[in-house]
Structure 1
Amino acid sequence: MSMGKGTAVIIGAGSGLSASVARKLAARGYNLVLGARDPAKLSDLAADTKATTIALDGSDPAQVKALFDGLSGPLRVAVYNPSARVRGSIAELDPDTVRKAIEVTAFGAFLTGQQAARLMLENDGDVKGTILFTGASAGVKGFANSAPFAMGKFAQRGLAQSMARELHPQGIHVAWVNIDGAIANPGRAEDGGDGMLDPDALAVAYLQLIDQHRSTWSSEIAVRPWVERF
């Protein structure tokens, strides 16, 4: 397989945003590795992008390490998408369910960030790679009856900030993307037109982060539809 521009890993791949990002990265010549709990659902995407798919629990340290240890070629891009929403009154939430949600959203982001940084630091060049975390407005403001999601996204945002301050001077671009609105994923029941985030347009924003010159690296961006309330 051609090395192209190197390897790009997307954790939590699915049919929406991650599929759009995958197609755009494949068009640029990256070798793609897609990790998901059910890789069978990625068969069409894998065929379109010539991607390797791997069954993965992104919150499992051994599984995440094995994925990154098994990569061939220089790792240039890593994207972490998974998150877990648990809704309910703070007085009634199940602690074990909350713990698992935070592990998926925040601890999994740490595991991917750690393993991606480890490999990227070995790369040659002034710019060694890009690590992107898919965030949400819950990482900026906590909403009622959504404490677990807010805890996970606030932690994820703090992780990205800390990694950016540590790794930017070492040539690794780290950014957190605040997706402030609903994504118009394929098969989603509601049709909000361009009042919802178009996944292909979102993917362009991700590529713009990858393309940024290091003199203007963003560590955080917010993307929202034109009708979304701030």
Structure 2
Amino acid sequence: MSDFPYRSALIVGAGAGISASLTRRLRAENIPVVIAARNVDKLASLVDETGAVALPADAADASQIDALFSETEARIGAPEIVVYNASGRVRGPLAELDAAEVERAVAVSALGAFHVVQQAARRMTPAGRGAILLTGATAGVKGFALSAPFAMGKFALRGLAQSAARELMPNGIHVAHFVIDGGVRGSHPEASGAPDSLLDPDAIAQSYIDVLRQHRSAWTWELELRPWVEKF
């Protein structure tokens, strides 16, 4: 019998990088997994490979997140692990950014995370157990030029994680924020001659698993992961 402490998982904002690696690792622990994205067609090969359940959802739409959690419960039971990987990006000079596009980007990175954390808390608090993992970025601790909307969303995500950790951890719910401090292989062009300048998504997923296995007397609320060769 596995000693893994959780029995079901929902990953919101699933794709081919961190989410795919984490899905494989969870399925290796015989954990049923629901993976959610606006476009589930891109998840077909991962579903075929792992047996995960793919469901459509726009993270920024509260009603769709409500429906996603209800459907997840129907498919695999209430998720004991909830992972938020969705992000919104808009780049450009501040004076030239489209306000509607900025609003959408921040809604995906931050407001969507709130919707997901709220739904998770409503289910995990009565149970007195669960884990909520939020995928952040360098932009959540340092805003870069021409990338204000991404920084705005990721700063808000980090604040949500910190507040949720302080509120929910005493209720038995482990909340952790991961600062992915660098590019991830598969989502960024490989740097010629410098593959170690990018993070390996399988190694990131292993770190998520390690955090999920932590004893509650020494829970991590934030973990920074960065490549050992980097230029920033």
- Which one of 214, 220, 223 corresponds to residue 221 of structure 1? 223
- Which one is further off, 163-172 or 68-77? 68-77
Instruction: State the Cα deviation string for residues 48-70 of structure 1 (Å, max 9, x = none).
Output: 22111111111110110011122
Aligned length: 223
Give the letter aligned to residue 182 of structure 2. G
Poorly superposed stretches of 4+, deviation over 4 Å: none
Residue 91 of structure 2 is matched in structure 1 by: 87
1:116 aligns with 2:120: yes
Residue 210 of structure 1 is matched in structure 2 by: 212
Could you tell me how far apart the structure 2 residues matched to 1:10 and 1:206 are?
Answer: 12
Q: Given that residues 32 and 49 in structure 1 are in contact (C-alpha distance below 8 angstroms), is that contact kept between their aligned partners in structure 2?
A: no
Give the letter aligned to residue 112 of structure 1. V
Give the letter aligned to residue 155 of structure 2. F
Instruction: State the Cα deviation string for residues 125-164 of structure 1 (Å, max 9, x = none).
Output: xxx1110110001110111111101100000000000000
Deviation, structure 1 residue 22: 0.3
Residue 36 of structure 2 is matched in structure 1 by: 35
Structure 1 gap segments, 5+ residues each: none
Q: Identity over aligned residues, as a percent?
A: 52
Give the letter aligned to residue 18 of structure 2. L
Looking at secondary structure, tell me which structure has more helix per residue. 2
Deviation, structure 1 residue 84: 1.3
Give the letter aligned to residue 168 of structure 1. M
What's the TM-score, normalizing by structure 1? Answer: 0.93
Q: Given that residues 106 and 153 in structure 1 are in contact (C-alpha distance below 8 angstroms), is that contact kept between their aligned partners in structure 2?
A: yes
Q: Please report the RMSD computed on the Cα atoms of aligned residues, expressed in angstroms.
A: 1.5
3-state secondary structure, aligned to 1:75: coil
Q: Given that residues 190 and 198 in structure 2 are in contact (C-alpha distance below 8 angstroms), is that contact kept between their aligned partners in structure 1?
A: no
Residue 26 of structure 2 is matched in structure 1 by: 25
Structure 2 gap segments, 5+ residues each: none
Could you tell me how far apart the structure 2 residues matched to 1:38 and 1:91 are?
Answer: 31
Could you tell me how far apart the structure 2 residues matched to 1:153 and 1:41 are?
Answer: 24
Instruction: State the Cα deviation string for residues 180-217 of structure 1 (Å, max 9, x = none).
Output: 0000017x532442221000001001111111111111
Residue 50 of structure 1 is matched in structure 2 by: 51
